[in-house]
Amino acid sequence: MVNDSKEDLLFFARVCEKARRYDDMTEAMQKMIQADANLNSEERELLVAAYRGAISARRASWRSLCYAEQRVALDLTDQQIQVAEEYRTKMESELLSICHDILGAINEMLLPKASDAEAKAFYLKMKGDYYRYMIEVAPGEERPAVMDLSKHSYQDGLEIATKEMKASNPTRLGLAHNFAVFHFEVLKLPAEARQIAQKALDEAMAEIGANEVAGETDTVLHVIREALNAWKPKDFAADA
């Protein structure tokens, strides 16, 4: 790229997204943040898409490798086990690097520049998410501290969203959903996860009433309903 103007970086990020070159996309977004950390809603969505694309495939690959290691561990030689462990460690380093990259940008540049509730809640949700991803691969002794960082990020975001945003706002709904996921997957507290998700759903539907729901709000409400259905107690789900 010739001059790295904001317009050029945005265009390049969109090209990278179309080509599914997410590492290049994150690099473009980081350059844009360094030039101007006051992102509008479209730019924030591009930021999410870049890092989601960069980390999602790696998380899936890491999980697949861990599963494969467990399945065949007894049939492997010591040397094969070492090779698998070294490769898994390499993947974990990549995951942690991506998380540190975006969390550094949020903490040092994006949150300090956020001037409205929407932007603040948006970035706090991202903080909660990427600390949550770190928990998966963090060494055992580091996990409690990272869990606290994730939890407090979600809590701070929800506090802002609850005070200053409508119950049907998709950012507020997304925060509640991901905080519920944190309770279900990380804390292993399914009842609390269901409670958080159900409260968000009930409050949004009470606000919406008989009005038609469309766009991002409808999408997040659908995700919350799917989560609630998946998180039903087994005996209740069997009777349903």
72 in any annotated domain = yes
pLDDT band at 208 (very low <50, low <70, confident <90, very high): confident
* CB distance 186 to 207 below 8 Å: no
224 in any annotated domain = no
Q: Which domain holds residue 55?
A: 1-116
The predicted model gives 189-203 an average pLDDT of 97
Question: For 50-71, what is each residue's pLDDT tens digit?
Answer: 999 999 999 999 998 888 777 7
CA angle centred on 187, ends 111 and 130, rounded to 5°? 30
The predicted model gives 211-233 an average pLDDT of 89
> Over pLDDT 70: what percentage of the chain?
94
93 in any annotated domain = yes
How many structural domains compose the chain?
1
Which has the closest alpha carbon to 170: 222, 229, 227? 222
194 in any annotated domain = no
184 in any annotated domain = no
Say if residue 164's pLDDT is above 50: yes
The predicted model gives 149-162 an average pLDDT of 98
103 in any annotated domain = yes
pTM metric for this prediction: 0.90
171 in any annotated domain = no
136 in any annotated domain = no
Q: What is the CATH number of the domain that holds 59?
A: 1.20.190.20
Specify the residue for token string 């509730």. 117
